[in-house]
Chain A
Amino acid sequence: MFGQGLLKGLQITLQELFTKKVTVQYPEESLPLAPRFHGEFVLDVEQCIACSLCANACPNKVIEIETAKLDKKRVLTGYMMRLQYCLFCGLCVEACNKGAIRFSQKFEMAKYFRDQIPLILYKGEPPVQEEQGNTGITAGEAEGTEV
């Protein structure tokens, strides 16, 4: 009969009126994320052996690693990621043999200013015996003014 579809439509919307609302009130609550979600990076400094495999795996040269020699052993003094160039492809995470660099579940990475974007995951004091700044960039530059 003509008009049946119109009534059906009204009936469906009326049902929707009383169903449970699907909205998730975002800032207060959020949907669960997948365990392998590509969020912000976290670095396990204890695990990192400063091998730079992650930096070399990166297609965009996002990662900058500073190292220093301490008793013929390389130690990490700085780990900085210029996230504005990052694809979140995960090649760095895959490359790490020690599982030191990982993705977290945090996705709210918006910043108000451009120079706040680079993510500094580690900035340690270089060991006292060694001369400062002989490898990589200095800590001052790692603050990330370059864009």
Chain B
Amino acid sequence: MVENIFVGFAEWLRSLLAAAGLPALFGDIVLMIVKVAGILAFIAISVLWIVYMERKMAAYFQARIGPNRVGPRGLLQTAADMGKLISKEIIIPRAADKIVFLLMPVLIFVPSLLLFAVVPFGKNMIAVDLNVGVFYFFAVASVSTIIFWAGGWASANKYALIGAMRAVAQMISYEVPMVLAILGVIMIVGSMKMSDIINAQQNVWFIFTQPVAFIIYVIAATAETNRTPFDLLEGESEIIAGPFIEYGGMGFAMWFLAEYANLILVSVLATTLFLGGWLAPFGLTFIPSWVWFLLKIYFMIWVFMWFRWTYPRIRVDQLMNFGWKVLVPLSLANIFVTGIGMFIYRAIGW
């Protein structure tokens, strides 16, 4: 019952529209709009919650209490912050490229939103189950690099430019090991469809068969989302807020929220590829699949927060060295070993 609450609602809506004598195409369109609205609501609520969770976790990891004044247990803290940021004046630097400057904080959400289309929230709860799901994911995720760059460039500020250049260098460098790491999983499954990948983990999650790939993925994902220890975009003592330096008010809030939307997305991919997606561990199937999925992505988000509040940041040259000289060879080796392993399994006829 609870398992099918969302799927059931979609079916009910479709049959309702069909009963009203409307053509099937119309029903599909309405259903798509409902899905988009649902995903938007999910993003908005999760981002607000994750910002709060990040602050609370930061505090707890440092033996502090964290926000506890606005609302019960500080729950309305993010809402209050958003209210403050919205009410602020938007200042455009005189030298800035005005159109690009104002457009980029809006566009930064576009790749994130597009990516949520292939997120498998639960059994039969994936908005579009593309047969190149993982490929689509990476292709669209890379676009955000350009948006970071354009935002930094349009600010006409040297710190913003340096920050944007770092963003591009870092995100492109770490995309390579990330994709190569995932290749191991794709090789085993033989499909890039999200639902196929999850169903292939029926017996054993890929975190156990591909542990190296998982570690590489988590490291690269931390760098992709620009979080500590790879948060070189920002640095109070050197380039201040990096690409976001000239943004204030809602513009800044958009960058900030997009960062957390990306955090959700990398956690989603980690869950889908390595933690068995919506599949219930230990046969605990009485808990609905979408609850399992949410639990797993929140666990991944928590792990990323744990890293952030544990490790000091590293230097840019160390970042590049680590990416190209350690992670890329390691992920290539992983592909090689996975290939040999698969060959052996096939040879013994498993």
Instruction: Knowing A10-B306, A21-B65, A23-B65 are in contact, say whether A16-B311 is a contact too (CB < 8 A).
Output: no
Inter-subunit contact A21/B64 (CB<8 Å): yes
B310 near A10 (CB under 8 angstroms)?
yes
Contact A21 B306 (CB under 8 A): no
Bound form: Cα–Cα A74–B307 in Å: 72
A-B contact pairs, 18 of them (CB 8 A): A6-B311, A9-B311, A10-B307, A13-B61, A13-B310, A14-B306, A16-B61, A16-B63, A17-B61, A19-B63, A20-B63, A21-B60, A21-B63, A21-B64, A22-B63, A22-B64, A23-B64, A25-B65
Provide the bound-state CA to CA distance between A6 and B314, in Å: 13
Set of chain A residues within 8 Å of B6, measured between Cβ atoms: none
CA distance A16 to B60 in the complex (A): 7
Min CB distance B212 to A, Å, is 13
Interface residues, chain B, with chain A CB atoms under 8 Å away: 57, 59-65, 306-307, 309-311
Q: How far is the CB of B283 from chain A (nearest CB, A)?
A: 28
Rounded to whole Å, the gap between the CB of A13 and the closest CB of chain B is 4
Contact with B along A86-119 (1 / 0, CB 8 A): 0000000000000000000000000000000000
Contact A13 B309 (CB under 8 A): yes
Task: Give A25 Cβ to nearest chain B Cβ, in Å.
Answer: 8
Closest to B61 in A: A13
Which residues in A have their C-beta under 8 angstroms from that of B59?
21
* Alpha-carbon distance A12/B61, docked complex (angstroms): 9
Shortest A93–chain B CB gap in Å is 37
Instruction: Select from chain B the residue with minimum beta-carbon distance to A18.
Output: B60
1/0 per residue, CB under 8 A from B, across A1-41: the answer is 00000100110111011011111010000000000000000
Interface size on A, residues (CB 8 A): 14
Cα–Cα distance between A78 and B307 once the two chains are bound (Å): 62
Q: How far is the CA of A25 from the CA of B64 in the complex (A)?
A: 10
Q: A118 vs B335: C-alpha distance in the bound complex, in angstroms?
A: 76
Across the A-B interface, give the 7 residue pairs with the lowest CB-CB distance, nearest first.
Answer: A13-B310, A23-B65, A13-B61, A9-B310, A17-B60, A22-B63, A23-B64
Given contacts A19-B63, A21-B60, 17 further A-B contacts (CB under 8 A): A6-B311, A9-B310, A9-B311, A10-B306, A12-B310, A13-B61, A13-B309, A14-B306, A16-B60, A16-B62, A16-B63, A21-B65, A22-B64, A23-B63, A23-B64, A23-B65, A25-B65
- Determine the chain B residues whose CB is within 8 A of the CB of A25 once the complex forms: 65
- Smallest CB separation, B195 vs chain A (Å): 33
Nearest A residue (CB) for B311: A9
Q: What is the CA–CA distance of A138 and B59 in the complex, to the nearest angstrom?
A: 54
User: Which B residues lie within 8 Å of A13 (CB)?
Assistant: 61, 306, 309-310
| Chain A 58-80 per-residue mask, 1 if CB under 8 angstroms from chain B, else 0 | 00000000000000000000000
Q: Which residues of B are found within 8 Å of A6, using beta-carbon distances?
A: 311
Residues of A within 8 A of B307 (CB): 10
Query: What residues of chain A lie closer than 8 Å to B63, measured between beta carbons?
Result: 16, 19-23
CB-defined contacts of A23 to chain B, threshold 8 Å: 63-65
Which residues from chain A contact B309 at a C-beta distance below 8 Å? 13
Chain A residues contacting B64 (CB-CB under 8 Å) are 21-23
Q: A21 CA to B306 CA in the complex, in Å?
A: 17
- Least CB distance, B339 to chain A, in whole angstroms: 26
Alpha-carbon distance A17/B65, docked complex (angstroms): 10
Give A19 to B57 CA distance when docked, in angstroms. Answer: 13
Residue of B nearest to A19 (CB): B63
> Within the assembled complex, what's the spacing in Å between the Cα atoms of A12 and B62?
10
Contacts of A16 in B (CB 8 A): 60-63
Most buried by B among A12, A13, A14, A22: A13
Q: Which residues of B contact A9 (CB under 8 A)?
A: 310-311
Most buried by A among B59, B62, B63, B309: B63
CB distance from A26 to the nearest CB of B (A): 11
Whole-angstrom CA separation of A23 from B69 in the bound complex: 14
